[in-house]
Amino acid sequence: MKRWALAAQSSTAGNWVKCAKRRNEPDAWLEDDAEQLYVEVQGRGGEAWRRADKWRSQYRLQGRVAICADTLFLAECLAHEAQIAGVPVGYLTNLTDLADGIVKGLWTHRWRSQHSTLEVWR
């Protein structure tokens, strides 16, 4: 398995790692030797228009969207939401499968165009 370093917003310091604290900025920063990636960690809450703004901002920032959700079902729903918002490329994972050890890597699915179906990432 690939090793990733993870940095998230500090609740005490209020700082982002390599990221200014702004409302639309992603929740986490993943980094390994070859790749750096901002990730949006999304629960069930929030309005669809705010999430769409997050997806578009993340795409502009790094050329793709990376979403981590509570469950696979929610992750798939959020991916479709991102595609509807105009995001052509993205990765998905979910906390349930990661915690259960079902996922061999970090990502469970990806999409390669705004109109493509989700592909299983194995």
Q: Which residue has the tokens 């390994």?
A: 32
Q: Is pLDDT at 9 greater than 50 in this prediction?
A: no
What pLDDT, on a 0 to 100 scale, did the predictor assign at position 11? 34
Six-digit token string for 102: 């079902």
Domain map of the chain by residue range? 5-120
CA torsion, points 46, 51, 53, 55, in degrees to nearest 10?
160
This prediction's pTM? 0.79
Q: Which backbone phi and psi does 48 adopt, to 5 degrees?
A: -60, -40
Q: Is pLDDT at 88 greater than 80 in this prediction?
A: yes
Question: Per-residue pLDDT averaged across 74-90, rounded?
Answer: 95
| R_g of the chain, CA atoms, integer Å | 14
